[in-house]
Each structure stands twice: as structure tokens, then as C-alpha cells.
Amino acid sequence: SAVISQKPSRDICQRGTSLTIQCQVDSQVTMMFWYRQQPGQSLTLIATANQGSEATYESGFVIDKFPISRPNLTFSTLTVSNMSPEDSSIYLCSVGLGGVNEQFFGPGTRLTVL
Amino acid sequence: AQRVTQPEKLLSVFKGAPVELKCNYSYSGSPELFWYVQYSRQRLQLLLRHISRESIKGFTADLNKGETSFHLKKPFAQEEDSAMYYCALTSASGSRLTFGEGTQLTVNP
């Protein structure tokens, strides 16, 4: 298994600003994922962030809006840029363990944009 | 395209009653199916996956490829089972998870 922490746990931001969310894992993992969970909805994959390569974004998500860094095997950041109220969501990171398709999730970051 | 459907957003049962949370999927290949659970104020966690064929906390789920379903069942629900349950799918070779909309299960005393 893996223990994942996220910072911040929650934030309230003004529209037009940006927020960077950090995800820290207690072990080295190749695959990390960022999800968004909008109010009352399910989880939607934003992008896959593998160390040593550019993040792969899902349809509907672009790098300019959600830039991702993956500097090493235990850490990643997701930035929500030029925020609007529609970006109010819970953002979760998860990691996949090599050899299995199981994912472990962080506690999430609850973002409110005013 | 892969898709997961959970037809019930809300499900309410009484303690001791059987419970079944429905999950249907569409995928043109050999999928791996999972059930994730999120208890109140806790993070999302894996409950079980079809490959393991195991029973966790009394829950079981059988993959029915003919009906493209992966329903979650428990013969006798407990109050502590109250949570949000998500069915999820990934390809056998990949790790991209597609989640269903979730079912909020409430087990009443």
C-alpha cells in the first residue's frame, strides 16, 4: 500500500488566481494521477503524471489550465490556473502500484473559488 | 470508450437486510472492475476487485461479462456499511480508472 498526503486540505480562492496542490507519497511510485470531483458528481481523471515524462491529459483538460509537475518518484503538483467558480471541486491525487492496477488515493483538496 | 453506470444514486436499507449495489459497464476488451468506498470524512479506498474474487467486510462482487455487470452484494447489511460506493473500471493492461457516478448507501437501524 501507499500513504498519500495532500496540501492544502482546503482553500478558498478568488477568481483569476491560481492554486498549486501538492501530493506527497511515502514510497517511490511510477504512476500518479490527478482527479477532479465536482460537487455531487463522480471522479473524473484530469491527467496521468509519470516521472520522467510529460503529463498525459484527458479530453477536456489542458496543460495551460492544469499544469502538472512530477519532479521525482514521491511528489507531484497540480496547479489550477486562472480560477473561476466552476473550478470549485475536490481535487485528488492517487498512485498506482507497479504490477497491479489498484490505486491509492490522497485525502483530497477542497477548493472553493469565489 | 469505457463507461461505468451506477443506476442508483441513493439506496436505503434496514440493518440485517440484503443489499445490492448495481454496476454496469461498457468496454470493448477485457476490463478490470473495482469497487471503491468512501466512508464519511474518510478518503476513497479500495473495497474489492474482481480479479481477487474475495469477500471484504462481507461484500462480494461477481463479474458477469454476458450482462456486463459487476454488482456489489452483501447478505446482511450493517449500519457501518453506510457510505458512498463507486464502481470503477480499467483496462487489463492500463491503469486509467473510469468511475461510475456513485451510490450513497444508507443502512438504517
Q: What angle do CA B106, B14, B44 make, to 5 degrees?
A: 25
Give the confidence band of B95 by pLDDT, cuts at 50, 70, 90: low
Per DSSP bridges, beta strands B24-26 and B3-5 are antiparallel
CA distance A80 to A67: 7
Which of the two residues, B109 and A96, has the higher pLDDT score?
B109
Residue of chain A with shortest Cα separation from B85: A42
Which residues on chain A are in Cβ contact (under 8 Å) with B98?
45
Residue pLDDT, tens place only, B2-46: 899 999 999 999 999 999 999 999 988 888 899 999 999 899 999
Q: How far is CA B21 from CA B1, B15, B30, B49, B100, in A?
A: 23, 15, 22, 14, 12
Q: What is the pLDDT of residues A25-73, one digit of tens each?
A: 999 988 899 999 998 889 999 999 988 788 999 999 999 999 999 999 9
Q: Which residue has the higher pLDDT, B97 or B102?
A: B102
Reported as a single tens digit per residue, the pLDDT across B38-73 is 999 899 999 998 877 788 899 999 889 899 999 999
Distance (Å) from the alpha carbon of B43 to chain A's nearest alpha carbon: 5
**Enclosing H/E stretch for A97:** none
* pLDDT value for A105: 93
- Quickly count: other Cβ atoms within 10 Å of residue B107's Cβ: 20
What is residue A89's predicted lDDT score, i.e. its pLDDT? Answer: 97
The answer, yes or no, to whether residue A97 has pLDDT greater than 80, is: no
Instruction: Give pLDDT, residue A31.
Output: 85
pLDDT of residue B73: 96
Could you give the CA distance from residue B20 to residue B26 in angstroms, rounded to a whole number? 20
Residue A75's closest CA among A112, A45, A109, A106?
A106
Task: Determine the pLDDT at residue A110.
Answer: 96
**Which segments of chain B are extended strands (E)?**
3-5, 10-14, 19-21, 24-26, 31-38, 45-49, 60-61, 72-74, 83-91, 98-99, 103-108
pLDDT of residue B93 exceeding 90, the answer is no
Q: In the predicted model, is pLDDT for residue A16 greater than 70?
A: yes
| Contact residues, A window 57-86, toward B, CB-based 8 Å cutoff | none
Q: Residue B34 in contact with residue B53, Cβ under 8 Å?
A: no
Q: CB contact, 8 Å: A105 with chain B?
A: yes
Q: Tell me phi and psi for residue B73, to 5 degrees.
A: -135, 150
Amino acid at B96: R
If one counts every other C-beta atom within 10 angstroms of the C-beta of residue B10, the result is 9
The values of phi and psi at residue B81, to 5°, are -80, -10
Of the given ranges (A47-56, A74-83, B40-49, B80-89), which has the lowest mean pLDDT? A47-56
DSSP letter, residue B17: S
